[in-house]
């Protein structure tokens, strides 16, 4: 929900950095992989209850996630392969954070964490499945033209997800409550995406048959 407001603010801040990276021969895919590996360090750190170290790994991951796309656009190296790598590793990273909290305290966090992971599957699959159909119909990307695929909006997007990850690390004792609340918001996102996506595609198909 907040991505369309946050992204235009962050993008200009990255320009100076990506110019230096480009001069040094760094590629977008290298940033994607390095950011993923750093982000995945949060899993064992959370499991071992090093909350602030995990938070630092999450923050670095998100910085790299912004830099790889900005560098790809700056260097005119945007590609479907790069977009595929980026979104796939993003979803693996997202899943790793609740898993870390489950491992840190299975008795207290397992149920809420499992429910959150289930809703993550719903938000991810509804997001990517519509992107495939959007490519077929060549739908325009009005709010995220720089993305390599159609970016379907929802109540819980990247900004909200990272915000809740920060909250998890700051108040780990309240993980089960926070995860349950966010899982509910994710469930709303799943419903609205499936409902809106289904009817959008039905209308597009109907329009094609009429023409």
Catalytic residues: 90
First to last CA, the chain: 34
Is residue 179 a contact partner of residue 120, using CB atoms and an 8 Å limit? no
Pick the closest to residue 54 from 87, 115, 96, 13 (CA basis).
Answer: 96
Q: Which long-range contacts (CB under 8 A, 24 or more apart) does 95-100 make?
A: 95/120, 96/39, 96/40, 96/42, 96/43, 97/42, 97/43, 97/46, 97/58, 97/165, 97/168, 98/179, 99/43, 100/42, 100/43, 100/44, 100/45, 100/46, 100/47, 100/54
1: helix, strand or coil:
coil
139: helix, strand or coil:
coil
Pick the closest to residue 118 from 184, 173, 58 (CA basis).
Answer: 184
What's the alpha-carbon Rg for the chain, to the nearest Å? 18
Q: What is the dihedral of CA 107, 112, 114, 117, to 10 degrees?
A: -140
């Amino acid at each position: 929900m907040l991505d369309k407001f946050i992204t235009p603010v962050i993008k200009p801040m990255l320009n100076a950095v990506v110019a230096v990276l480009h001069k040094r021969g760094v590629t977008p895919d290298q940033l994607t992989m390095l950011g993923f590996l750093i982000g995945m360090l949060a899993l064992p750190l959370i499991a071992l209850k090093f909350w602030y170290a995990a938070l630092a790994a999450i923050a670095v991951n998100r910085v790299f996630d912004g830099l790889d796309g900005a560098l790809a656009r700056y260097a005119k190296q945007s590609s479907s392969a790069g977009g595929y790598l980026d979104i796939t590793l993003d979803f693996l990273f997202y899943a790793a954070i609740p898993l870390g909290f489950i491992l840190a305290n299975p008795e207290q966090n397992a149920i809420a964490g499992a429910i959150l992971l289930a809703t993550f599957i719903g938000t991810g699959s509804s997001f990517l499945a519509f992107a495939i159909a959007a490519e077929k119909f060549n739908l325009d990307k009005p709010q995220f033209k720089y993305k390599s695929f159609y970016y379907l909006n929802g109540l819980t997007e990247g900004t909200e997800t990272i915000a809740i990850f920060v909250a998890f690390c700051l108040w780990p004792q309240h993980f089960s409550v926070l995860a349950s609340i966010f899982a509910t918001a994710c469930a709303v996102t799943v419903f609205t995406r499936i409902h809106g996506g289904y009817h959008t595609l039905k209308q597009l198909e109907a329009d094609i048959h009429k023409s």
